């Protein structure tokens, strides 16, 4: 391995510490994983320029679907609680 020293913003530091703790890994491991993930993505010029247009078209089609008359059966707090429960250790 090669040792690197980098400067990050305070918000990035807080995020890194929190995410490493939640995932049960070291900050260094999380950084290495992020670099590996970035290495698997295409470089800037290879992105699909029409992707966002396709997303908007899909959203417009979904907006035409009828909505249910019953409304929501959940609250935002219910969703947060459910998701936090999934990722808590």
Burial 31-47 (b: 16+ CB within 10 A, else e): eeeeeeeeeeeeeeeee
Residues near 83 by beta carbon (within 8 Å), at least 6 away in sequence:
none
pLDDT tens digits along 24-76:
999 999 999 999 998 888 776 666 778 889 999 999 999 888 877 677 788 88
- Which pTM does this prediction carry? 0.48
Which CATH architecture is the domain 1-41 placed in?
A: Orthogonal Bundle (1.10)
What is the full DSSP assignment across 29-87? HHHHHHHHHHHTSPPGGGS-TTHHHHHHHHHHHHHTSPPPTT--S--HHHHHHHHHHHH
Distance CA 39, CA 84 (A): 30
Q: What angle do CA 83, 86, 87 make, to 5 degrees?
A: 95
């Amino acid at each position: 391995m090669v040792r690197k020293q980098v400067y990050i913003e305070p918000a990035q530091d807080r995020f890194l510490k929190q995410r490493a703790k939640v995932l049960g890994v070291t900050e260094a491991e999380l950084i290495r994983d992020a670099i590996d993930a970035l290495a698997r993505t295409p470089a800037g010029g290879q992105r699909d320029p029409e992707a966002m247009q396709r997303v908007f078209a899909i959203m417009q089609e979904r907006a035409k679907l009828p909505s249910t008359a019953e409304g929501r059966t959940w609250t935002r707090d219910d969703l947060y609680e459910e998701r936090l429960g999934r990722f808590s250790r």
